Amino acid sequence: MAHPDRFLLRVDLAAETVSREPIPERWLDRYVGGKGLGARYLYDELEPGTDPLGPDNALLFVVGPLTGRAPGEPRYAAITKSPLTGAFLDSYSGGEFAGALADALSDCLGVLITGRADEPMALTIEDGTATLEPTDTWGTDAAATAEAFEGQVACIGPAGENRVNYATIAADGGDHHAGRGGAGAVMGAKRLKAVVARGAPPEEDSDLREVYEERFADDETGRWQAASETLESVDFADAVGALATRGWQENRFEGTSGIGIEAARAASTGREREGSIPGGFEVSTEEGESVPRGATQMTLGAGLGIDEFDAVAALGARCDRLGIDVISAGNAVAWAIRASDAGIIDRDLDFGDEAAARKLLSEIATRGTQLGDALADGVEEAGRTFGGEDFVPAIKGMELPAYDPRAAPSMALAYATSDRGGCHRRARPIEDEPFSTWSDEERVRRVIEEQDRRSVLWSLIVDDFVGESFADLGAAWLSELGYECSPAELATLGERVWTLTRLFNVREGLDRGADRVPEALTRPAGDEAIDPVAFEDLLDRYYAERGWDERGRPTADTLERLGLDGLDRGDAI
């Protein structure tokens, strides 16, 4: 695959040095940028067993050749080893910072950060290089931190400073987040408070932008996003019986109308971005201006039994400013309410109590109480400390989003095999399976196709919703930028990247035993439950189709076919 020359910035916080190096040509050939390139660097840089919160962990801010060019918001990837899961982590964020970062990096595709600073630092990227300087913003929230710098800012709030295992990297004053898995905690451990990008979004003069934009606008997903962004997810999940409610005890929420899309439209003061692909709905809350997403309403609303839109939006805004992932945080509060009901913690908590939830969120972000400190490590750790391990489901340590997979076995497979833990963004077959009668073969095929496709899109980097209209996986656009690759080669790229992240996880000891269905999902919500025996059969089919062995390790033949031969396939574990 032909490609332009590209470079990487390398930052050592301990030595306070910045260097610039060419990206190996073979890596550009095989991974292009974004997720793929970041995964290759992470695999190469880290020794197995590296402490995610130690100085030897690497944190990458990576863009792709289509960052700022593709329709919709520009996006970047934060890639590291997760303190929540101990697994590979890629987390994506859109908005103005991502566009500015792509411009500020110039002919670089990313910055790789190692070490730990002696004092809080800010990293400024401009004109293809970077500088480090101390900052006095430690202790401020995401909104105040963004205001303290000239340029676009990605930063941590109190949750990152206190190394909450699901702390986010907040951009644009807290409107956008690299959310899941704790990349913000890695920044906090490194004493890196902020990354400042001084640039402007790339100006795309290609006729292809208009072509792709029109395709997406005409696509079913494009029409849905223009009308509702992700906020209609709560209405959809409730309608199909897949809305995890009151700590995963029910699958429908009687208060959906109070927190769903119509309530959002009524409360909205506008869209955060206009045009044929508009952004999310802006609303005013007592915490300040906010842009609630579907995950906010599902996890902090239905998940906590709160049926007032303003109250849920305010909880989301609190999470945004603290720099804490709304999905994991909402699940943590739900776990605490169930633990209170069961009498295993001494705390008066109830579903529907927004004030108590708000207080507990602050305790988690600051680790200010024994309960907050335990929940800051994740619900699995809290369960091991207090009991109640099966109240809230998690996979590889990551709490599940509120799409309840008991309504669709394919979604259980997608969660279990996700490379970063319980994540709905790798594959969302739950959008289709409730309306179909799928065989196990179809379930496996759909999950694999979506996982591979999104691995391509996130290597370019393109938002996965906008990418629905990329029938050629972006091959035509890449050709205009000096890359020579066919749709078939890009499809192989997706499989290669997915297999590489699997190798990283297997090397960390995460094989079949980590691809499990949590016990909570084997109990019914409504009429549905996951059958553990049937799930194991489904997992066998998935491994076979992937070319992995019965333990979930890619075979030598698979590695050779994908150009990954020579990498460790986990034979020692």
pLDDT tens per residue, range 309-320 = 999 999 999 999
pLDDT tier at 213, thresholds 50, 70, 90: confident
Helix, strand, coil shares of the chain, percent, nearest 5, are 45, 15, 40
9-49 confidence digits (pLDDT tens) = 999 999 999 999 999 999 999 999 999 999 999 999 999 99
> Residue 39 in 3-state DSSP?
helix
Given CA atoms 422, 194, 358, 317 in this order, what sign does their dihedral have? negative
Which among 202, 119, 188, 197 has a CA at the least distance from the CA of 156?
A: 188
Architecture of the domain spanning 7-197:
4-Layer Sandwich (3.60)
Q: Are 430 and 405 within 8 A, CB to CB? A: yes
Query: CATH topology for 230-387?
Result: 1.10.569
385-440 confidence digits (pLDDT tens) = 999 999 999 999 999 998 999 999 999 999 999 999 999 999 999 999 999 999 99
Examine residue 461 and say whether the peptide bond preceding it is cis (omega within 30 degrees of 0). yes
pLDDT of residue 214: 83
pLDDT of residue 186: 98
- Asked if pLDDT for residue 573 goes beyond 60, the answer is no
Token pair, residue 98, equals: 């991502």
Q: Are 208 and 80 within 8 A, CB to CB? A: no
All CATH 3.60.9.10 domain ranges of the chain, comma separated, are 7-197
For 398-518, strand residue ranges (E) read: 398-399
pLDDT tier at 1, thresholds 50, 70, 90: low
Rounded to whole angstroms, the Cα distance separating 160 from 183 reads 8
344-360 confidence digits (pLDDT tens) = 999 999 999 999 999 99
Dihedral angle over CA of 240, 241, 244, 246, nearest 10 = 130
Rounded to whole angstroms, the Cα distance separating 548 from 326 reads 34
- Say what the pTM is: 0.96
Q: Are 573 and 549 within 8 A, CB to CB? A: no
Rounded to whole angstroms, the Cα distance separating 274 from 419 reads 34
Look up tokens 């050592």; give the residue.
Answer: 12
Which among 404, 440, 414 has a CA at the least distance from the CA of 239?
A: 404
What is the pLDDT averaged over residues 445-473?
93
All CATH 1.10.599.10 domain ranges of the chain, comma separated, are 405-561
- Asked if pLDDT for residue 206 goes beyond 80, the answer is no
pLDDT tier at 469, thresholds 50, 70, 90: confident
pLDDT tier at 222, thresholds 50, 70, 90: confident
All CATH 1.10.569.10 domain ranges of the chain, comma separated, are 230-387
Query: CATH topology for 405-561?
Result: 1.10.599
- Asked if pLDDT for residue 572 goes beyond 70, the answer is no
Q: Are 183 and 189 within 8 A, CB to CB? A: no
pLDDT tier at 205, thresholds 50, 70, 90: low
> Residue 128 in 3-state DSSP?
coil
